Amino acid sequence: MSNKKVIATHSGKFHTDDLFAVSTLQILLGEENTEVVRTRDPEIIEKAEYVVDVGGAHEPEKEIFDHHQKEGAGTHEDGIPYAAFGLVWKKYGVELAGGKREAVYIEKRLVEPIDAGDNGFGLYTLDHLQVAPYTIQSLLSAFRPDADEKKTHDEVFLELLPMVRKILKREIEVAKTFVQAEDEITQTYEMSEDKKIIIFPKEMKYGREFVGGVLCQYPEPTYAVLYRSDSDVWQTLAIKKDTGTFENRKRLPEEWGGNKTKEELKDLTDIDGIVFVHRAGFMAVSETKEAAVALAQKALSL
């Protein structure tokens, strides 16, 4: 007799929501300890230890996580309606992520966008270009079998679960790194006498994505200087206005950017050791820390 816990979800066309809800429980319980059943049979659902995205109720104490009932299943704090993934994460996210801050990071980054999409809750509007982002929903829905394929939705669902678990496990590791990075970057910011240009020590291991993401939460930082260990160079980073835009508070001067030689950059900046300035003005590379700091100071003064 099998001791595996049965996770029941709906049959038919699969969605990102139910894939992630099931995967979350598999990580929690151990994949080898679970059996996934896709069904709409009430008798089978009743016997399952865990029920997601089907069942017509949200009863977390009974391990039932559905949001299709008329009244829904509530909303995240910002008003985005819960879907099954969010309901499972609400109960087990802190345990799986290793802490409240880590769980919230994943909720904002991964859970809420999936819940919103499953509920038809719009998160953005397209501009005149009418080009939409390619989302995790886009990726997973591309695997749905069409009418000419021999595979069923049930077969493809089971095939996708390992990939979805891998994504979620990786996001948990990223969340843990971000929380640690946030603490260290914030400490450097708080200890910095100059709040406009934040200079990080060579030992600081976090890249510009983490640094920029944390520093844009504070009003003063315009540039950051940090070491890039993979290529033994120093970066001057322009800080974004906020996490939701590519626009910088003050981009590096446009005339510095592009494929210019070191000699051309020295003539333009009066600084020796500048290797490259991105044409979009968000980042520059220098041979030394002193050059990277001088470039930030120069850009700030213009």
Tens digit of pLDDT for each residue in 171-188?
A: 999 999 999 999 999 999
Decide: helix, strand or coil at residue 147: coil
Per-residue pLDDT band for 2 (boundaries 50, 70, 90) equals low
Residues 117-145: tens digit of each pLDDT: 999 999 988 989 999 999 999 999 999 99
Average pLDDT over residues 10-24: 97
Task: Using CA atoms of 84, 85, 87, 91 in order, give the dihedral in degrees to the nearest 10.
Answer: 140
User: Are the beta carbons of 189 and 219 closer than 8 angstroms?
Assistant: no
Residues 230-269: tens digit of each pLDDT: 999 999 999 999 888 889 999 999 999 988 999 999 999 9
Average pLDDT over residues 271-283: 96
Question: CA–CA separation, 88 vs 214, rounded Å?
Answer: 28
**Mean per-residue pLDDT of the chain:** 95
User: Are the beta carbons of 50 and 7 closer than 8 angstroms?
Assistant: yes
- Does this model's pTM top 0.85? My answer is yes
pLDDT at residue 1 in the model? 47
pLDDT at residue 225 in the model? 98
pLDDT at residue 203 in the model? 94
Positive or negative, the CA dihedral 137, 142, 147, 153 is negative
Query: Could you tell me the residue ranges of all domains in the chain?
Result: 5-176, 192-301
